[in-house]
Amino acid sequence: MREALNTIARERLVQVVVLTANGPAFSAGHDLKELNARRGDADRGRAYFKHVMDLCSSVMQQIITLPQPVIAAVQATATAAGCQLVASCDLAVASQSAKFATPGVNIGLFCSTPMVALSRNITRKAAMEMLLTGEMISAEDAARIGLVNHVVAPGTEREEALKLAKKIAAKSPLTVKIGKEAFYRQIEMPLAEAYRYTSEVMVENMLARDAEEGIAAFIEKRDPKWEGR
């Protein structure tokens, strides 16, 4: 996935990414048997555990920094780092049969890295309930608390995600890139700093050719022709 994201980031023809899965789960998270097998290492697995967690965290951040929006099409269960993956995507469409959990507390391993993405998507109390109980929640509850955008009939999640992707792909790719980057930067800033930053972003955006074209098209009541600059 890391290599695929690196390639996509450089590919101007790709405007939106839809992340899908096959099989009985969307993602079950880390392979606990694989991790546990390294307890026999001289350092009891410390170096390997750090490598795996750092790599996973890096991939999640890649999704956030990717110029293109990423939509998760969740067909089934997403737990632990799998739930983290959904939370890291910009948007998510879930099947009615999908379920979500951060169940680490049940096995004595708190979902600390999934917590980073989860707590930046949903309210604190909703996040804490998922993290402290480890219980599975339904797709409907995931939508209610803001973890996913839409819940659809089983088997249609990929199609619905692609419909959403096509809507976004019809916009200026430059504008979408500017907006995604600004969204994640401003959300971590104090209010006054966020307004200063986004005001500067809007000025630069206003000077872009696509903004000039888009505004002209709106005034002239025609479809815009995006140039991506």
Tokens 């994640």 belong to: 184
pLDDT at 137: 98
Sheet of strand 150-152: strand arrangement: 17-19, 70-74, 91-95, 150-152
What tokens were used for 189?
A: 């800033």
pTM passes above 0.85: yes
Q: Is 133 inside any structural domain? A: yes
Mean pLDDT of 59-68: 97
- Looking at the structure, do residues 15 and 28 belong to the same domain, yes or no? yes
CA 77 to chain centre: 16
Q: Would you say residue 226 lies in a domain? A: no
Which CATH number fits the domain that encloses residue 94? Answer: 3.90.226.10
Cα–Cα distances (Å) from 179 to 174, 176, 209, 215, in that order, read 9, 5, 15, 17
Asked whether residue 79 is assigned to any structural domain, the reply reads: yes
Same domain as 143, residue 110 = yes
Residues 182 and 147 in one domain: no
Q: Do 67 and 112 lie in a common domain?
A: yes
pLDDT in tens, 122-181: 999 999 999 999 999 999 999 999 999 999 999 999 999 999 999 999 999 999 999 999
pLDDT at 201: 97
Task: Give the pLDDT confidence of 22-49 residue by residue, as tens digits.
Answer: 999 999 999 999 999 999 999 999 999 9
The domain of 64 spans 2-169
What is the C-alpha separation between 117 and 126, in angstroms, rounded? 13
Q: Are residues 189 and 111 in the same domain?
A: no
Chain centroid offset of residue 109 CA: 23
pLDDT in tens, 8-25: 999 989 999 999 999 999
